[in-house]
Amino acid sequence: MHNQIKLMLQMQDEMNSKVTEDWLTRGFEWYRAIWIECGELMDHHGWKWWKKQDPDIEQVKLEIIDIWHFGLSMLLESSKDHDLLIDSIADDFNYTAPSTVPLLEAVETFATTTLADRTFSPSKFKSLMNAAGMSVDDLYVGYVGKNTLNLFRQDYGYKEGTYVKVWDGREDNEHLVEGAQSLDTSVPSFRDDLYNFLKDRYHRLNG
């Protein structure tokens, strides 16, 4: 787990630096982004009692992965010692009891703490993961996948508006899922292997 957390912290720093070089000193409102993602998560789960809604658990998990991006950013911004940070996150993930709280309640508890304190609590986030049936391995694979896709998009013109998001009639995130499923997620090269998969398929399908 320590190696997974270390890699995710490194990837988040690299991604943030690619978008804004001096991101650590900019004081971005990560807590606000987390709150908005929590609202989107609840919409995917469904909360309206006046209409029929079926929970879309896969989309719920994707929103949790998006929240983790912002949470990692908050943790990096507030910590000078990355080794201690890794240990602290691992401890929270190891010792947070499985949640028996319904998912929407877990979301509200997590969002309330984030907004009130403007901090990110790995233990409350882990409770949210538990409520959604996500393991740390699920988080790791999902995070590496989404982060790699975000990096790939930036490298291929996302910010400039030249990136092609639909490849051969399917969105890039569908190709991402196929790539992740076809690779060995346990090897240290998983991130690079996935990036190369995306690059090869992008060039093959888009010329």
pLDDT one-digit tens code per residue, 14-53: 989 988 889 999 999 999 999 999 999 999 898 898 998 8
Give the closest residue to 127 by CA, choosing from 144, 107, 142: 107
pTM equals: 0.83
Do the Cβ atoms of 69 and 151 come closer than 8 Å?
no
Question: Is residue 207 over pLDDT 80?
Answer: no
Long-range contacts of 51-59 (CB under 8 A, 24+ apart): 57/132, 57/133
Q: How many residues does the chain have?
A: 207
Give residue 195's pLDDT band: very low, low, confident or very high (50, 70, 90): very high
pLDDT one-digit tens code per residue, 75-86: 999 988 999 999
Do the Cβ atoms of 60 and 106 come closer than 8 Å?
no
First CA to last CA distance, the chain: 39
Give the closest residue to 128 by CA, choosing from 53, 67, 69: 67
Give the closest residue to 11 by CA, choosing from 137, 148, 194: 148
